[in-house]
């Protein structure tokens, strides 16, 4: 397959930051205004993403987990600049992309693609698969020769486990797993550096999930990809991630490498989440204590003072009700936001 530099656009006009991380997110916030009345006066804010910071290295997979509504998808889409951040900064490939727009943003987007949760909803049912996968190439390279694009797309389809005949078929002719393979081929068409995968297997049967996850891992090596992998299912995230960040009510409460998180979760919310993972071994299942959290997740329109988790935390202390715990490194590469740790 031709992976030549013909698909690369020089983005060196952007401001330089650091060379080491593919992605650096600092103090990112995404708030939505709540308005009222005819004049749509702002009466409050929904703090969907509330001051998160993390990095993602070249070739790494960072899983972002948390319950529905915790802000993980909003964080991902804000990082891809599908929506404007309220504040904070996003550096991608060493360049500040926080406020870019127009043609500059379009160039950067080439290197940042997305795989969606529902492949059927994300694929135009009236377009042949070949055209769906080649659409990004046609958009970015309108003068490219048709036969070159077609043979490249055929190779991509092969690479994701589909036959060349798939090129001339329509999305409804495929199973859910095959449609997700089409979505992945389309995301790869411009040879991105970063793929945001937002719940990419949660709509698939369990038997198909591991096939798609294995494919994504193979493609990561071959295409030198980094993944920001968003999911609510901790087993899925464990399968694919190098590091994992746990989100609660718009905040990152713990982030570390996969082994540390599953062996020694520190944040009480992470401990509760992990206690719900089914254990196949009956002996181990007997020993494992499931932590049942009391109450519901508070509304991001009206988050509690102090630690966002304090209304449900079994270890709550007076300080937790008043002071928001910062995300602190407690051992090498293991950060946690909790007053129990220093
Ligand atoms: Fe629980 Fe306090 Fe830690 Fe929050 S800061 S998780 S309330 S112990």
Q: Is residue 265 within 6 Å of ligand 1 at its C-beta?
A: no
State if residue 316 touches ligand 1 by the CB under 6 angstroms criterion.
yes
Residue 67 has pLDDT above 70, yes or no: yes
Residue 248 CB less than 6 A away from ligand 1? no
DSSP H stretches of helix in 34-81:
72-79
| Average pLDDT along the chain | 90
Å from CA of 58 to ligand 1 middle: 33
Instruction: Read off the tokens for 160.
Output: 């994701």
Residue found under tokens 């609510």: 232
**Index of the ligand 1 atom closest to the CA of residue 319:** 2
Q: Where does the pLDDT of residue 124 fall: very low under 50, low under 70, confident under 90, or very high at 90 and above?
A: very high
Average pLDDT of the residues in 32-42: 90
* 123 in any annotated domain: no
- CA 93 – CA 220 distance, rounded (Å): 17
320 CB less than 6 Å from ligand 1? yes
pLDDT (0 to 100) of residue 1: 39
CA Rg, the chain, in Å? 21
At residue 284, the pLDDT reads: 60
Does residue 130 form part of some domain? no
pLDDT on residue 12: 42
Q: Tokens 């891992």 sit at which residue? A: 217
CA-closest residue to ligand 1 atom 5: 338
In whole angstroms, what is the distance from residue 95 CA to residue 80 CA? 13
Q: Determine, yes or no, domain membership for 103.
A: yes
Residue 257 in this model has a pLDDT that exceeds 80: yes
Minimum mean pLDDT range among 18-22, 93-97, 190-194: 18-22
pLDDT at residue number 286? 55
Domain assignment present for residue 205? The answer is yes
In this predicted structure, the answer to whether residue 285 has a pLDDT above a threshold of 60 is no
Residue 287 has a pLDDT of 59
* pLDDT tens column, 178-225: 999 999 999 999 999 999 999 999 999 998 999 999 999 999 999 999
Candidate from 273, 317, 321 with most ligand 1 atoms within 8 A of CB, to mutate: 317
Q: Are 247 and 53 in contact (CB under 8 A)?
A: no
Residue 46 counted as domain residue: yes
Asked whether 46 and 31 are in contact (CB, 8 A), the reply is yes
- Region 259-276: mean pLDDT is 94
* Residue 39, pLDDT score: 86
Lowest-confidence pick of 2-16, 79-93, 296-310, 321-335: 2-16
Number of structural domains in the chain: 1
Give phi and psi for 91, each to the nearest 5. Answer: -110, 130
55: CA distance to ligand 1 center in Å? Answer: 24
End-to-end CA distance of the chain: 53
Q: What is the pLDDT of residue 276?
A: 83
Is the pLDDT confidence value at 288 over 90? no
Domain that holds residue 56: 12-111+192-341
Cα separation, 322 vs 109, in Å, equals 41
- Ligand 1 contact, 313 CB (< 6 A): yes
Determine if ligand 1 sits within 6 Å of the CB of residue 325.
yes
Share of the chain above pLDDT 90, in %: 78
Which tens digit of pLDDT belongs to each residue from 310-324? Answer: 999 999 999 999 999
The answer to the question of residue 107 being in a domain is yes
Is 185 among the domain residues? no
In a domain, 202, yes or no: yes
Q: Which pLDDT does position 10 carry in this prediction?
A: 41
Any atom of ligand 1 within 6 Å of the Cβ of 338: yes
Question: What confidence tens digit (pLDDT) does each residue in 52-63 have?
Answer: 999 999 999 999
Instruction: Look at 15-24, 112-121, 190-199, 309-318 and tell me which has the smallest mean pLDDT.
Output: 15-24
Domain of 307, CATH number, reads 3.40.50.300
Q: Is the CB of 285 under 6 A from ligand 1?
A: no
- The vertex-117 CA angle with 114 and 122, nearest 5°, equals 70
Mean pLDDT of 134-148: 96
pLDDT at 9: 40
Give 251-307 as a 3 state SS string: EEEEEEEHHHHHHCCCCHHHHHHHHCCCCCCHHHHHHCCCCCCCCCCCCCCCCCCCC
């Amino acid at each position: 397959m031709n992976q030549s530099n013909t698909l690369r656009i020089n983005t060196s006009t952007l401001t330089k930051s650091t060379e080491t991380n593919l992605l650096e997110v600092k103090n990112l916030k995404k708030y939505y205004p709540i308005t009222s009345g005819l004049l749509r006066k702002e009466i409050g804010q929904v703090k969907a993403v509330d001051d998160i910071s993390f990095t993602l290295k070249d070739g790494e997979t960072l899983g972002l987990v948390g319950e529905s509504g915790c802000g993980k998808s909003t964080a991902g889409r804000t990082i891809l600049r599908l929506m404007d951040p309220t504040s904070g900064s996003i550096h991608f490939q060493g360049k500040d992309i926080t406020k870019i727009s127009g043609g500059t943003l379009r160039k950067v987007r080439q290197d940042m693609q997305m795989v969606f949760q529902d492949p059927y909803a994300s694929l135009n049912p009236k377009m042949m698969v070949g055209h769906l996968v080649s659409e990004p190439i046609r958009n970015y390279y309108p003068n490219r020769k048709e036969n070159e694009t077609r043979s490249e797309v055929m190779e991509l389809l092969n690479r994701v486990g589909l036959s060349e005949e798939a090129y001339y078929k329509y999305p409804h002719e495929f199973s859910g797993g095959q449609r997700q393979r089409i979505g992945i081929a389309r995301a790869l068409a411009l040879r991105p550096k970063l793929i945001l995968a937002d719940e990419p297997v949660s709509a698939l049967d369990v038997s198909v999930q591991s096939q798609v996850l294995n494919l994504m891992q193979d493609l990561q090596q071959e295409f030198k990809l980094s993944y920001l992998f968003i999911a609510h299912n901790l087993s899925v995230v464990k399968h694919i991630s190098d590091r994992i960040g746990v989100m609660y009510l718009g905040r990152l409460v713990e982030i570390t490498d996969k082994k540390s998180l599953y062996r020694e979760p520190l944040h009480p919310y992470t401990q509760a989440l992990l206690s719900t993972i089914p254990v196949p071994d009956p002996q181990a299942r007997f020993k494992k204590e499931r932590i049942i959290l009391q109450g519901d997740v508070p509304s991001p329109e009206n988050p509690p003072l102090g630690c966002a988790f304090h209304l449900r935390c079994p270890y709550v202390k007076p300080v937790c009700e008043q002071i928001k715990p910062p995300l602190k490194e407690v051992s090498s590469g293991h950060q946690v936001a909790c007053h129990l740790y220093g």
